[in-house]
Amino acid sequence: DGGITQSPKYLFRKEGQNVTLSCEQNLNHDAMYWYRQDPGQGLRLIYYSQIVNDFQKGDIAEGYSVSREKKESFPLTVTSAQKNPTAFYLCASSIEGHRLTNTEAFFGQGTRLTVV
């Protein structure tokens, strides 16, 4: 079945360590996105990519890094520079990255990261 897969579902990391969250899609979508969700904050955009080998900072990119070497994959690295990394992270994709109007975004099931 087509869809977006995030792994792992739950992730624990020690303070000061980098960690990478996986996001894979087999929908043949051009655009992919990473959001962070905190209680009462809604969804905040971290990074997005409209096409392979290109990505842009979102509203809260500090302390995060991404890569887009393949159309299907958009991994997110939470670095030690991120001061408050504990959150629920959501990956999404949409068909047309170069023309975002009238484009529906579809989400993965999320990864809950906890810093211990």
6 makes contact with another protein (CB under 8 A): yes
Tell me the backbone φ, ψ of residue 13, rounded to 5 degrees. Answer: -140, 155
Report the phi/psi class of residue 42: left, alpha or beta, with left for phi > 0 and alpha for psi in -120 to 50: left
103 makes contact with another protein (CB under 8 A): yes
- How many CA atoms, within 13 angstroms, populate the side-chain half-sphere of residue 33? 21
In this structure, the chain runs to a length of 116
Of the pair 78, 92, the CB lying nearest another protein is at 92
Out of 76, 105, 113, 115, which residue is the one contacting another protein (CB under 8 A)? 105
108 makes contact with another protein (CB under 8 A): yes
Out of 21, 25, 29, 33, which residue is the one contacting another protein (CB under 8 A)? 33
